[in-house]
Chains A and B, each alone.
Chain A
């Protein structure tokens, strides 16, 4: 019964949170000091054209009526049409979000696979040269501006060593070579069994994902270190050591097992953060992702696009939060 109640409470919080998100974004969009009509008709359009478009967009209605109309459309899955791309916002999201998701997924995999072992190592070797080295590496990850790292990476791996392809999601030779089924280029290439496109897509993915991963890795490594230090000081670890268990068993089974739950939350939220779109990385690597879409739309007061993209980010955040909560309950028997 308790579980059912908790589930119902969680389920009820989702629409309330999303409603709040849409309301706030809508209001910000409407009070923003940019005329949304400008994005459509430009600066030179005569007054009657401006007035006609204003009418067409429903901007002459009171704010609450505009919001009500938007909610009505949202209820039937109509996110409206983007001014900047001429497509429906839903079509845009289906194209831009997979690009971001592909990048973020590879980045979080890199970040976790490297960050967690580094964090554990730093904790185990606390105060040694290893710990200091890892700290410096992580500090650089936090402090180096991402555009500097992205450009340096391009300069070294693309322009000098020729190890990596240039910016973009794929080489122009492969443009439209595989049908866009999922819009995840690697998946579409796999579905089409086109290995050249797959190889090209993976090659284009590695460099921006690695740059993005560096920052996520720095955060995950520092958090892992902090959690591990806490765990290693625990009495159960001292007991385990006193029992004569191997160091590896003490570290990975006893200490790490206890921090895994907290780490999952950290990784889930970092992943959700990456999914919001890393605007700078996407800009330098000409990656057509959600971050760029959201930024361009916002600067042009393309409010349907901004609202749609914000909603996607919000849903993603909520989904990952809920997933983290679920995993928390599964992994930690103390959490009911």
Chain B
């Protein structure tokens, strides 16, 4: 017999069970749902977006004149540009656009759109503008330096001679995306060149267009019917999921198709599970330990080298980040022109101690600033233990990432563990920051990583500035290789690891793989079978 109490319980519980009864269906077949932490997005305007998630979204919504060949990043291929000609004096490049290309609105792409886009990036002068304005264009002269020479041709002038590959790689960055001039200007407010509108909308020719961006919630992209790529999914849905365990659960349940932020243990479990497929790609993101040369003991070359010999690179990689990082001891990341596979350092405490002794140093106390999240904290502790073995007592100063960077930019650190991602696929991006320091004063315009560590090496500075002007790609590559080998011996940087990004997807998803640059991680051919 049903008691009154049981009846009340059943009545209360019924709505809960009825809501759950039908179960929760898989994602629709023509929609790709991605679980990812996307709260790093601050803008979807390609002239402004400079973060990983924002770069990936804009990479799928816009095309550039040229892009690195996904199969061989050493090679540049035309995207919107059909061909290009470099002037004999090397001071301009003329691009001819492909005919018949259309924006998501259906309007045709013209040279005027391409010129407007590049001019707009320089005039807006947001964070990525430096990639383009290093060729001499300023707000005042850009309209004379980048001009349309015909309905489908434009000329990009360069103030001084640079390596053509360098110029082309810079133009392949997201800030070189071509936007629809008429649509952008229609949404201009108070002379902002449409920046306010473009933060949350799109006006490109890529395989998708932005349907909506709700910060810390979702980004929804719709297929661009005018894209020649014949976009397969009708919609891509980025679902903001911070917690990796929640991502894993939703992937298992079929609520998302791709999980992008799983932890090493979760990746390991997924590798042995036939329900999932994995894609990985080295990211041009390097973790390093740096030594501020304002600290007298760190300015001794023998001490710097001793620290490099004290670190257990392989132990850290194997024990802390076996799947998500690889050992990388040179400043040009693997996959970029000029990269070398040398690993000159391995843990040798006796050698490190001898090098310290040769400098007359037996031990000292030092602080290491580092990001308080993982794997930064574990790696900092491992390095602290390694340094203790050679008599260096390191105090770890864990803080939020932006707090560490704020101190770093102000040169207030002694030692620090940080990461650096390449801005465009040319070795100069990292050569400049790791080698060049032309003005070591506090008011310097260019605050490269070398500057932040108060390190000036006139030879490497000059060689980095010369390599960026070398027209022959093969010669350029050898110049960077030689610079990296000297950098190993002279710099205050102990390069540690290069990141590897992983995506775990359900087994029925085909046509998706990660790319070395977030902007080249494309979804247009992703399909559920």
Q: Name A's B-contacting residues (CB within 8 A).
A: 33-35, 38-49, 52, 82-87, 92, 95-96, 151, 154-155, 157-159, 161-169, 171-173, 175-176, 199, 202-203, 206, 283-286, 288, 292-293, 296, 299-301
Q: Check if B241 sits within 8 Å of A86, measured CB to CB.
A: no
The reply to whether A286 and B444 form a contact with Cβ atoms under 8 Å apart is no
Known: A49-B127, A288-B217. A163 touches B243 (CB 8 A): no
Residues of B with C-beta under 8 A to A163: 16-17, 20
A to B CB contacts below 8 Å, 11 in the list? A34-B402, A34-B403, A39-B402, A44-B423, A47-B444, A158-B253, A159-B252, A166-B24, A206-B19, A286-B246, A300-B402
- Kindly identify which residue among A84, A86, A176 contacts B39, using a CB–CB cutoff of 8 Å: A84
- Bound-state Cα–Cα, A168 to B245, Å: 14
Residues on the B chain within 8 Å of A45, using CB:
127, 130
B214 surroundings in chain A (CB, below 8 A): 95, 288
Q: A86 touching B23 by the CB < 8 A rule?
A: no
Is B200 located at the chain interface by the 8 A CB criterion? yes
Instruction: State the B residues within 8 Å of A (CB).
Output: 16-17, 19-20, 23-24, 27-28, 31, 33, 39, 42-43, 50-51, 125-127, 129-130, 196, 199-200, 212, 214-218, 220, 237, 239-243, 245-246, 249-250, 252-253, 255, 399-400, 402-403, 405-407, 409, 423, 443-447
Cβ–Cβ < 8 Å partners of B242 in chain A: 283, 286
A231 to B83, CA, bound (A): 88
How far, in whole Å, are A82 and B214 apart by their CA atoms in the complex?
13
Q: Is the CB of A206 within 8 A of B127?
A: no
In the bound complex, how far is the Cα of B423 from the Cα of A95, in angstroms?
Answer: 34
Q: Are A172 and B240 in contact (CB under 8 A)?
A: no
Asked if residues B250 and A167 are in contact (CB atoms below 8 Å), the reply is: yes
- Complex contacts, B443 vs chain A, CB 8 Å: 47
Known: A86-B199, A166-B24, A284-B243. A299 touches B400 (CB 8 A): yes
Q: Are B42 and A86 closer than 8 Å at their CB atoms?
A: yes
Question: Do B402 and A292 have beta carbons less than 8 Å apart?
Answer: no
Q: Which residue of chain A has the shortest Cβ distance to B410 in the bound complex?
A: A35
Given contacts A166-B255, A175-B218, contact A33 B445 (CB under 8 A): no
Q: Given the known A-B contacts A35-B402, A42-B50, A173-B28, are A283 and B39 also in contact in the complex, defined by CB atoms under 8 Å?
A: no
From B245, B400, B423, A34 is in contact (CB under 8 Å) with B400
Residue of A nearest to B446 (CB): A46
Contact of A171 among B24, B51, B200, B402 (CB under 8 A): B24
- Report the Cα distance A47→B127, complex, angstroms: 10
Q: Are B43 and A86 in contact (CB under 8 A)?
A: yes
Contacts of A166 in B (CB 8 A): 24, 246, 249-250, 253, 255
A188 to B276, CA, bound (A): 37
Chain B residues with Cβ below 8 Å from A39 are 42, 402
Does A47 contact B445, Cβ atoms closer than 8 Å? yes
Across-interface contacts of A175 in B (CB, < 8 A): 212, 218, 220, 237
Determine if B240 and A286 form an interchain contact, defined as CB atoms under 8 angstroms apart: yes
